[in-house]
């Protein structure tokens, strides 16, 4: 099963950041400092769902750093 993520096409080159010393992780940390910013992923093969602390906060769930049982959440 393949997944497809669609975004609006923006005709613009990616910005170069190495010369200013900002990593992708730095950007996520800066965004999350001001708002709840949930990150998650699903392992399709195992069915495991992993989510950041903010995802748990947004949905009022107790935090777990391991896989979340989606069936139990429904």
Over the stretch 49-69, which tens digit does the pLDDT of each residue have?
Answer: 899 899 889 888 888 888 987
Q: What pLDDT sits at residue 1?
A: 45
User: Average pLDDT of each block of 10 consecutive residues along the chain (74 residues)?
Assistant: 60 81 86 85 87 89 83 68
Q: What pLDDT sits at residue 24?
A: 84
DSSP string, the chain: ------------PPPP-GGGT--HHHHHHHHHTTS----EEEETTTTEEEE-HHHHHHTT----SS-B-HHHH-
């Amino acid at each position: 099963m393949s997944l497809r993520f669609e975004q609006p096409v923006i005709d613009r080159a990616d910005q170069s950041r190495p010369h200013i010393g900002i990593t992708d992780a730095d950007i996520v940390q800066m965004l999350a400092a001001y708002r709840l910013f949930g990150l998650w992923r699903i392992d399709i093969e195992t069915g495991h769902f992993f989510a950041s602390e903010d995802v748990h906060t947004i949905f009022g769930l107790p935090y777990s750093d391991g896989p979340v049982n989606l069936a139990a959440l429904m």
